[in-house]
Structure 1
Amino acid sequence: MSVEIVTERGDITEAEVDAVVNAANSTLLGGGGVDGAIHRRGGPDILAECKRLRADTYPDGLPTGQAVATTAGNLPARWVIHTVGPVYATSEDRSDQLASAYHESLRVADELGARTVAFPAISAGVYGWPVPDAARIAVETVRGARTGVSRVRFVLFSDDVLAAFAAAVG
């Protein structure tokens, strides 16, 4: 079954989907950008679950390219899937880690039974990944995934990022 992929400009914290993907940092304790917005809007239940995950499962933090789910708290989604994208580097090709963040997020979505998932542009903000390349990797990974997710929404915060993702979708 193929995944329907849509791109839209918007606020991912308002996405009415089964699962919202958080471009988290490895601490899982909130931060800036999408991560901070999800924690602020979702409320304290998300942070409480993240603290439990850090204490029990990921004492050294969530590794880059991996994903884990928590409640969505006050968000309209049912779950938040936290994933850590790589920081862009010209000295090392980390494309596989970025693809893994999308792939692992879809794997977790399948475990949860999520059929609709909203993604941000992972690593394309403060982590410095060039937006057209980030979009290409994201779309290729989602298209190639064997998943029960039926619809992926790339919910993007700016016109330039939306244009890059729309071009990658074709």
Structure 2
Amino acid sequence: MTSIEAVQGDITTERVDAIVNAANSTLLGGGGVDGAIHAAAGPRLLEACRRLRRTDWPDGLPVGEAAATDAFDLPCRWVIHTVGPNAHRGQTAPALLTSCFTRSLDVASGLGAASIAFPAISAGAYGWDAADVARIAIEAVRSHLAPGVDLVRFVLFGSRLLDAFDHALSRPAD
């Protein structure tokens, strides 16, 4: 049984096997979580992302897809990059957001990661409501089989997000 928890903190300091980056489709860094992860990982992360663009994702990483790189200067082993749906661009289907979590779990499982930390994907600049993100994220993790992944930690920037995730975690699983 996978353990699921929510904490307030800085995802770049998490000592888990993999952290998830709320990336943009270019994979070349940005603001928010993406910028913080790139800054903390150092310049080799950008080069690894450029390599992913050249080899696997020449048109950019699609919304809901996930891909991994090494973590370089971060305390984890891998960074799993996923592109959340942008509500400001009309990307409001819950299935798109669910896919971010499930595909990231699939990638983590494939890497052999036993622990993974997620941010609140799409709850920031992409305009999704924190309560909706929390509910969708928790439901996705609870219902998705990811062999070998024993711990899923949501690392949230601020008490508003933590409250939303704590509320979603307190609801019984369907």
Tell me the TM-score range normalised by the shorter chain: over 0.9
Q: Deviations over 1:19-47 (max 9, x none)?
A: 00000000000000000000000001111
Following superposition, the deviation at residue 3 of structure 1 comes to 1.2
Structure 2 residue ranges without an equivalent (≥5): none
Q: Structure 1 length normalisation: TM-score?
A: 0.97
Q: Quick one: structure 1 residues 157 and 53, their matched pair in 2 at CA, closer, same or farther if it must change by over 3 Å?
A: same
Following superposition, the deviation at residue 56 of structure 1 comes to 1.3
Distance in 2 (CA, whole Å) between partners of 1:99 and 1:6 is 18
Give the letter aligned to residue 156 of structure 2: L
Give the letter aligned to residue 46 of structure 1: L
Q: Deviations over 1:70-127 (max 9, x none)?
A: 0101000000000001012596641100000000000000110000000000000000
Distance in 1 (CA, whole Å) between partners of 2:63 and 2:11 is 21
Distance in 2 (CA, whole Å) between partners of 1:49 and 1:118 is 20
Give the letter aligned to residue 12 of structure 2: T
Superposition pairs for residues 26-105 of structure 1, below 5 Å?
26-88=25-87, 93-105=92-104
Distance in 2 (CA, whole Å) between partners of 1:79 and 1:154 is 16
Structure 2 residue aligned with 1:16? 15
Distance in 2 (CA, whole Å) between partners of 1:48 and 1:89 is 29
Give the letter aligned to residue 159 of structure 2: D
Distance in 2 (CA, whole Å) between partners of 1:31 and 1:156 is 18
Following superposition, the deviation at residue 138 of structure 1 comes to 0.2
Distance in 2 (CA, whole Å) between partners of 1:93 and 1:120 is 18
Distance in 2 (CA, whole Å) between partners of 1:125 and 1:142 is 20
Structure 1 residue ranges without an equivalent (≥5): none
Structure 2 residue aligned with 1:149? 149
Q: Runs (4+) of structure 1 moved beyond 2 Å?
A: 89-93
Structure 2 residue aligned with 1:120? 119
Distance in 2 (CA, whole Å) between partners of 1:84 and 1:92 is 11
- Count residues in correspondence: 169
Structure 1 residue aligned with 2:136? 137
RMSD: 1.2
Identity %: 56
Give the letter aligned to residue 117 of structure 1: I
Q: Quick one: structure 1 residues 35 and 92, their matched pair in 2 at CA, closer, same or farther if it must change by over 3 Å?
A: closer
Give the letter aligned to residue 155 of structure 2: V
